[in-house]
């Protein structure tokens, strides 16, 4: 009987958990010490985002100019 109020309702679908990196561990945003030009921030961010480090460095420089130096201060803080 489909309309019987005493029957338990079907479980509702829940949100899927976030994807887990292939290593099975959570990724960490760290500053790299082996592949760095100034402080390793862009290199660590590139690893975290799985992006090319040159593109991340170009983005940092562009954002630093476009924001009047705010991103340069963010870089120093990171």
Q: H helices of the chain, where? A: 41-49, 53-66, 70-77
Quick: pLDDT tens for 20-72.
Answer: 555 556 677 776 666 667 777 888 888 888 889 899 989 989 999 999 988 88
Q: Token pair of 34, please?
A: 């082996």
Confidence (pTM): 0.56
């Amino acid at each position: 009987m489909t309309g019987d109020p005493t029957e338990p309702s079907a479980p509702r679908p829940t949100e899927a958990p976030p994807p887990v990196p292939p290593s099975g561990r959570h990724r960490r945003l760290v500053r790299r010490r082996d592949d760095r030009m100034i402080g390793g921030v862009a290199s660590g961010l590139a690893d975290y985002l799985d992006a090319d480090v040159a593109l991340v460095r170009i983005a940092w420089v562009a954002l630093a100019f476009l924001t009047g130096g705010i991103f340069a201060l963010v870089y120093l803080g990171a």
